[in-house]
Amino acid sequence: MNKLQKDLVIIGGGPGGYVAALRAVQGGLSTILIEKEKIGGMCLNWGCIPSKSIQTSAKLYERVLEAEKFGLTGVNFSNVKPDWLLMNERANQIVNRLTKGVETLLNKNGVETIIGEGTVLEPNRVKVNDSEIECKDLIIATGSHYLLPDILQNTNNVYTPRTIYSIQKLPGSLLIIGAGVIGIEFAMLFSSLGVKVSIIDKSDKIMPYLDNDIMNVLKTTLRKSKVDIMLGYDIVELTDEGMKIKNKNEEKLIKTDIYLSAISRQGNFTGLDSLIEKRLDTYGSFIKTDLRARTSIPHVYAIGDVNGVAMLAHVASAEGTTAVNTILGVGKDLIYEMMPYNLYGKLEFASVGLTEQAALERGFIVESGKFPLIANGKALAEGNAEGLVKIVYDKKYGEILGVHIAADNATDLISESVMAMQLESTVWDVATAVHPHPTMSEAFLEAIYKGIDKPLHTL
């Protein structure tokens, strides 16, 4: 057995783990990063990157079908067909390029990486392959996995968001179980490619944490995409004839080519038995952490999906940085309300901070401003004028409490809002900041103009 001593061991090489490793070596900590499959984790290899790559193909496909609206003639664009395997091939090329880039970055910065499954023997002792590593601190970044209900087990045409890329061609129809972010994203993706898509969910609402105005845009987008959403339904059984579902009033049979189970995930606890036996606090299927990503066991941290706080790649990276900074003695509490969320589709959705409903519930004197993109010159010129920008702020002090965007590039537009809120900017600060014209970013400025109830020259 090869015996090693390090300052820090990180188990899991996803966007939480590898970012933490880079920060650690830059801070002078001798570090080993353990990854059992591929550097980049779920996000880079089977999630964020491949899905967004194929989403880009789907958007381009829809654009090509509308080519004549942009004055392009002479070619029968209706003959263009989406090829799933070619789209997948492009996605894989992008994934391979990015994973190699991360591996190179780790190597150049002196991060020692071991491919293998790590097993925690003690909070300060980890075994991987033929090595045993003693460390001062441990970061768990083992990620999560999708749950497949027993009723859907052992069926060839049932997929998860990780395995869906293995299909050999586009199906004629798809039934998605779960109307969360991932389910909605795949619904918009496949409907853009001409697949008949249905979604079922046992809840009566889809993503109730969304701002009401943004939710209305999402519902309109799904309706225009011809996605059939059935809420309040449970699965009864899966047969060769289809899936039987029921709600309070009826039972019906849904026939489809393939199924995608996009319901809840749970943290990956493999190799962590010794920690759990030492009373590592958990809740449900996740590890409980504080605002510095610390667990109940001293010198043990948990970041990313395994803590279940916010299953987003950028949150995992922020948690990894915070954990390492805490080890280095310069950590600050994470502010999860300042973490933006993104939803990708034909139309993108992004948000940061409080919804109008949440702000009212907390007792703020709430004012809001909304600006529809149909009035934005750049959006009209590009043919992407659906959606809106909404800003929620405290009327008394002008502090921006939340920003909610539905737009073609909402996931890029939200960054300005995050920065403004991080700096505790008021609506009046933003209102006096010049935005270039014509740009989509002007919609953020215009939403503030809509909300401000006094002339700018009096500010």
The residues, any chain, with a CB within 8 Å of residue 271's CB and separated by 6 or more, are 11, 117, 118, 119, 120, 142
Alpha-carbon separation of residue 44 from 31, 66, 101 (angstroms): 22, 31, 11
Which tokens in the block code for residue 174?
Answer: 């798809």
Instruction: Identify residue 316 by its one-letter amino acid code.
Output: A
Count CB-CB contacts under 10 A for residue 369: 19
Which run of H or E residues covers position 229?
strand 228-231
Per DSSP, helices labelled H in 132-199 are 181-192
Helices and strands (H, E) in the chain, number of each type: 13, 24
Helix axes 84-108, 48-65, angle to 10 degrees: 140
Task: Answer whether the bond into residue 372 is a cis peptide, omega within 30°.
Answer: no
Phi and psi, residue 221, nearest 5°: -60, -45
Alpha-carbon separation of residue 204 from 208, 250, 314, 361 (angstroms): 9, 15, 29, 22
Classify residue 265 by burial, with Cβ atoms within 10 Å: 0-12, 13-18, 19+: buried
Which tokens in the block code for residue 130?
Answer: 């033929």
Instruction: Identify residue 281 by its one-letter amino acid code.
Output: D
The residues, any chain, with a CB within 8 Å of residue 315's CB and separated by 6 or more, are 304, 309, 336, 339
Secondary structure class of 34 (helix, strand, coil): strand
**CB environment 182-212: b (16+ within 10 A), e (fewer):** bbbbbbbbbbbbebbbbbbbeeeebbeebbe
Which run of H or E residues covers position 424?
none
Which tokens in the block code for residue 252?
Answer: 């019906």
Query: Which has the closest alpha carbon to 317: 20, 46, 12, 13?
Result: 20
Query: Which has the closest alpha carbon to 398: 356, 364, 360, 372?
Result: 364
Q: Rounded distance, CA 155 to CA 261, Å?
A: 12
- Number of residues that make up the chain: 459
| Active site (annotated) includes residue 437 | yes
Catalytic residue among 314, 404, 437, 457: 437
- Residue positions annotated with a catalytic role: 437
